[in-house]
Structure 1
Amino acid sequence: MSLNRFRFLLRMLRFDDKRTRVQRMEVDKLAPFRDVFEFVVKKCKSNSSVGEYTTIDEMLWAFRGRCGFRQYMWNKPAKYGLKVFSWVDSRTFYVLNMEVYLGKQRPGPYEHIRQTPSPVVVRLVEPISGSNRNVTYDNWFSSIALSNDLLQNQKLTTVGTIRKNKKEIPPEFLRTKNREVHSSIFGFAKNLTTLISYVPNKNKVVLLTSTMHHSKSIDNATGEQKKPDIITFYNATKGGVDVVDEMCGNYSVARKTNRWPLTAFYLILDIIGLNSLIICSNNKEKKLVRRKWLKELATELVTPHNRTRLQGSLSKSTHINIMDILKEDVVRPPVEVPNKRKRCGLCEHQGNKSAHNCASCNIPVCGKHSKPTCLNCINME
């Protein structure tokens, strides 16, 4: 298609009924994009099995336009955008579930949905309730009450850092005076949460909780740092969402726009491309290259439309381009070369000059010694 056609389609692209949007937005901030978002999330949850270890973290879909729930996050490269809580497989980096942070919802069907840490985690991990899998998250989500609740009611173990202002933490775990660097203090609640206080540097302490580990074991591979197994496990599984962000950024379909639904659509397409690659890689012995996979995926998506277009009236160049995309053999017609007229190779004596060459032997031919042939007849020959 032409560039103007492409830009026109982007301007006209919508994901809901514009005639009823105002009424729906009075009760739902995500109304312009909710149907598409929930459809994609449903497909992500139903088309892949979850691994043993998963992680929950925040994504930031970069956006600086007008949006009622745009967030500022100083620790993200984009700083401003749409905050999305994401649940990812720590091994394959498959995106399993997502939820857009909307702040306080308006009175209506979504008013009761709280987006504080504990309810968000419970909603995200609902598909694996009772499966004895593990969930890793950072200190924004972590709390002793949440860890115990997931272990007792949903049979899920958790590992995560925890903030120092939690009232359940004993004062001894916060003190750094007279403590050796790389030393650890363990606290155990019977068959529930394990609390650890680790000193990585002088006058600094790191707190972690785990319902998966119940011992004082130290990872010998860390050498003089003497890191406990809890910290080693957390470092190995915490980066799932960050890896997804990086992979989506390397090959992204995003374009500059002032409409947040279109920004969300671009990022959803990136996640769909990544998830589809992971699913197909699991079904093949040979590892797929993501760049080649995305190109192949795009070609397969446009193939039905291109075959339909071939039935209509097209310009010569468009017809050839579509045949190239479909990877079908096509004999190209004589190419017109302006200002390079040569004498016909079949005329006697001096002959007539012509700008056309024979498609087979490539000699110049004039109108008397050539005849026009359509592409369909050329292909049949």
Structure 2
Amino acid sequence: MAGKLMCAGGGAQERDEIQDRVRLPSMATTASSLPLTKEGAGPENSSSFYDYDYLDDVAFMLCRKDAVLSFGKVFLPVFYSLLFVLGLGGNLLLLVVLLRHVPRRRMTEIYLLNLAISNLLFVVTLPFWAISVAWHWVFGSFLCKMMSTLYTINFYSGIFFISCMSLDKYLEIVHAQPHHRLRTRTASLLLAALVWTVAVAISIPDMVFVQINENPKGVWNCYAEFGGHGAIWKLFLRFQQNLVGFLLPLIAMIFFYSRIGCVLVRLRPPGRGRALRIAAALVVAFFVFWFPYNLTLFLHSLMDLQVFGDCQVSQHLDYALQVTESIAFLHCCFTPVLYAFSSRRFRQYLKTFLATVLGRHLAPGTAQASLSNCSESSRVTTHEEMTGMSDLGKRQAEGSP
């Protein structure tokens, strides 16, 4: 599973491909498009090979992937372990703060809470893939299907909840009405339920096709087995990732935050500069995390369609796929923090939580005073935000035709 390169919605399929490209000892016996159908070599041969059949059906070569395999066995387990520790700690802290210290969760907090849950479920799968890359799949058939499905569901739901939070900020500023019909608690819960439903629907291929396979003898691998339609499924799931998991959310975020920027520039509310910087940072962060990975997936698809490529290009793309996928996984560590700290209200909740924890080590009077100050500061911040939104709404209404 050398890259565990699991494109969202096609997680198991991409694991299969990385195994084909990097780990499994294989040699194709018939000419076909890239990559070719494989027959497992014996366990004594740890190399990976490729046959490339060009359009003239003449060129033929073997492409070894030993170096890619060696790189993945070291880089990926280390990186996944680091992501697991950072993602688990950061999202657990976010979850505790939201559950214990947010008095009445509004639309933003509901999406942030679901994002934290999604990221936690996502990082829980990483130790399984780290062990699988370093060794092989030792967890049996049930966990193979379960971890693949969990991966895909939370890969997509995390991206969708980021889009929902962008929508919420758009409604809050561009349509500055305290009781907008799309910003009610009921509407936000329904939208969150819709996000989970769509993510589960996208994971159906994992539920149906993922299984464990033994190749070579005694070495088990967890990936999707599509039968004779594997090439079509791989291309479909990759393009689905490019479109649904990246391009559409990016377009939505650019639209929402560009409209937000226009309103802030026109009305010049207090704190306009900081709000513009935060909006730009959120879009840039999403692009930096996800664009390299999606570009590499797209180039792999073009290579499999024989638009371009040779052995050296294939090796470079295999390296790039492992690195850019790992960069994309960083979103589960840093995106919730970025969104959480874009809100003064959440920062006050975090201060309250830290005061509660530290209060156990302080004198009773000092701890009580600290908690009282944080609670008062939280109430003042909430009141200021509500007043600011009300004032922004009036100014919006005055400026409307």
- State if a TM-score over 0.5 links the two structures: no
Q: Which has the higher strand share?
A: 1
TM-score, normalised to structure 2's length?
0.22
User: Which structure is richer in relative contact order (CA contacts within 8 A, separation 6 or more)?
Assistant: 2
TM-score, normalised to structure 1's length?
0.23
